[in-house]
Structure 1
Amino acid sequence: MAAVLLQPGPAGADRRDREPIVIGHRGSAALRPEHTLPSYETAVALGADFIEPDLVSTKDHVLVARHENEISGTTDVGDHPEFASRRTTKTVDGVPVTGWFTEDFTLAELRTLRAKERIPGLRPDNTAFDGLAPIPTFDEVVELAQRYGVGVYPETKHPTYFDSLGLSLEEPLLDVLARHGWQDRRDRVFIQSFETANLRDLRTRTTLPLIQLINASGAPYDRVAAGDPLTYDGMVTPQGLRDVAEYADGVGVATSRIVPAGPDGRLLAPTTLIRDAHRAHLDVHAWTIRDENSQLPVDYRLGDPASPAHPRATGNVMGWLGTLYDLGVDGVFADNPGTARAVLAARSRR
């Protein structure tokens, strides 16, 4: 059963009494090609409370679910000779990227493409589903979520970049949610971004919960573009978190912000981030929990490192989840939501 969405509040008994939420990261990326309706459906079947679409825009300003606006790694666009001339190089958030971009395609054109596994070397079994699913619209993702009684946790990808193209993400995002009746603070929605300006703007437009994403290093691109010295390191200080709380309801943080690793890859003592965030009345959602050894801290890897299958073999992901839950996270982004749900179920039986 999906957990009831409770809103952020002061750390204390009310926070301890609620179960952490399970967020199906890109659906169930460990088991199906990410950001496809089969991936989201699988996440729901495995017990996700929320499904997470990354949102980018088409040329005709329709929001679709893709990890990036560059789609050569997640679709078969390279196999379509009719689109060969659209391969180009663009600068996205200050980084040159070569490939095919959603903003150069209408929705009708994108519908002729099919999704494929983004990292086949790590997840070869997922390639069995290559070519089966089209790129879903955000509207379709919300329809799926409501049909199955779960929430959505959309991320606005590269909002400054899309603003520069006249394809702002925030207005169509809110329009889609409103069309489906999701406009209130207690609706099953979190809106997330690695940037800050669009979250501050959204705060003036909606009461839906907002989540400030915080990377393991670097800075929000909108602040970089504006010449602002603020970094993600500065945002996780007690004062930085209080500043975030002026416009957001929580933070979505890389797990290394919660438990850093040393030079040998082994975990060090936990930071005070969760405590400090809770004192600022912010929830803490940790990303990303993955089952494979190569995606886990060294302390939680299992098997023979010399085996060629070791990097993609399942490690002690349940132990890693248990550690994060013990530290007090309010939710986890999981590539395999079933694992995160199973650990919570086992804990509830104790």
Structure 2
Amino acid sequence: MKTVERASLPGNDFLIIAHRGASAYAPDHTFPSYELAVAMGADYIEIDLHMTRDRQLVAFHDRSIILEGEEHAIANLTLKELQNFLPGRIFNEQLPVMASKSFESLFVPTLEDIFLHFKDQVNYYIEIKSPTATPGIEKELIHQLESYQLLNRSDRFPKVIIQSYNADSLKKVFELAPSIPLVKLYSQDTTSISKGEIRDLEKYASGVGVNHSLVTIDFVNRLHDKGLAIHPFVVNDADDIQALLNMGADGIFTDKPDIAAKVKRSHLREPTKP
């Protein structure tokens, strides 16, 4: 049987991935947040992806929401029910210094809303959330990506990158569309990723995502030796971003793409040390 090669990620650039958009300044996973991220110089907008009870793909981070005082899993709500949730009002309450009246009517967008709005003018970094609760989410995602002609392109950066904490979900995506770069997320200490697990990653993954506080030069080199990129999360401090650049990280997730873009520009202007 012919071995299918895993996709590759850019190895000569530092990707700025807007975590839920420019979510320090606007409600996460809304058009203002995504648009601001692009304007600030983000290379990718990150989309946390859930599937509703009526099998609609939506951009939302948490597994559940509070509606009328009761908690509901996204997987148990219809799209119509979910759109009773107004993320802008929550943002305005939690971050009044950034509040805007225009945010109050914002809704939870579907993935198709996002594709219709941005088309192929941005790059998408999509996290598959709760795949065990929503069987078939991978197949529906690939269907939509194909429908909007976002796969098998020859752009400077891959138009789409997919990530997940769930290895089985990523392997399903690999079977369906091996041209998509896949990133395995980890929540634990990076030292606990065994040699055997890295060998498994080499079969399907293009990179890993870990908490930025756990990244070391040794870990970066260990991954790079196996052809795996590293995209730490979530990094908003300029000094932390600079430190990750110096360690050789391939990109970062940030709520503040403007700060990341400024650090990146400054880094690129620095003369190469002999």
TM category (shorter chain) comes to 0.7 to 0.9
Aligned partners of 2:29 and 2:60 also within 8 Å = yes
Corresponding residue SS for 2:64: coil
Q: Partner residue of 1:224?
A: none
Aligned partners of 1:257 and 1:271 also within 8 Å = no
Change (3 A) 1:233 1:140: farther
Match of 1:204 among 167, 175, 185: 175
**Structure showing greater relative contact order (alpha-carbon pairs closer than 8 Å, 6 or more residues apart):** 2
Q: Does 1:128 align with 2:85?
A: no
Corresponding residue SS for 1:338: helix
Give the alignment of 1:8-27 within 5 angstroms: 8=9, 15=11, 18-27=12-21
Structure 2 counterpart of 1:176, which letter?
Q
Aligned partners of 2:92 and 2:100 also within 8 Å = no
> Where does structure 1 differ by over 4 angstroms across 4 or more consecutive aligned residues?
117-122
Change (3 A) 1:239 1:122: farther
Q: Does 1:115 align with 2:87?
A: yes
Structure 2 counterpart of 1:252, which letter?
G
Bigger Rg, which one: 1
Change (3 A) 1:119 1:23: same
Match of 2:160 among 189, 196, 218: 189
Identity of aligned residues (%): 29
Q: Give the TM-score normalised by the residue count of structure 1.
A: 0.68
Aligned partners of 1:252 and 1:287 also within 8 Å = yes
Match of 1:253 among 186, 189, 210: 210
5+ residue gaps, structure 1, are 1-5, 10-14, 79-83, 88-98, 218-231, 259-269, 291-316
CA distance in 1, matches of 2:225, 2:206: 12
Deviation for aligned residue 1:117: 6.4
CA distance in 1, matches of 2:235, 2:255: 6
Aligned partners of 2:26 and 2:33 also within 8 Å = yes
Structure 1 counterpart of 2:225, which letter?
R
Q: Partner residue of 1:160?
A: 132
Match of 2:115 among 142, 149, 158: 142
Q: Give the TM-score normalised by the residue count of structure 2.
A: 0.86
The RMSD of aligned alpha carbons is 2.3
Superposed CA offset, 1:246-278 (max 9, x none): 1111111111220xxxxxxxxxxx352110110
Match of 1:347 among 240, 252, 267: 267
Structure 1 counterpart of 2:42, which letter?
A
Q: Does 1:55 align with 2:1?
A: no
Corresponding residue SS for 2:245: helix
Deviation for aligned residue 1:118: 5.7
Q: Does 1:7 align with 2:8?
A: yes
Deviation for aligned residue 1:151: 0.4
Deviation for aligned residue 1:120: 6.8
